[in-house]
Amino acid sequence: MINFEEELKKFHPSLEIEDAEEIIYNQDLDDIGDVVVKLLKDAKVESGKADR
């Protein structure tokens, strides 16, 4: 049988996973609200240029 306590003592996280985790958590990602606002602003600017 597997001794989970012993296996946990041997566990060492992968360095690549720790690096990826840090990169993911430190990114400033836009949420859907930010994307919609930007799209609306861009559409307004484009429609303003077309009216001139």
Residue 52 pLDDT greater than 70, yes or no: no
Mean per-residue pLDDT over the chain, rounded: 83
pLDDT tens for 17-40 read 878 888 888 777 778 888 899 999
Q: Provide the residue type at 21 as one letter.
A: E
CA torsion, ordered 42, 43, 46, 50, to nearest 10 deg: -170
Q: pTM for the full model?
A: 0.39
First to last CA, the chain: 77
Q: Which domain holds residue 35?
A: 4-51
Q: Sorting pLDDT into bands at 50, 70 and 90, what band is 51?
A: low
pLDDT value of residue 5: 93
Measured at the alpha carbon of residue 20, what is the angle toward residues 19 and 22, in degrees to the nearest 5?
A: 65
pLDDT value of residue 50: 55
Task: Tell me how many domains the chain contains.
Answer: 1
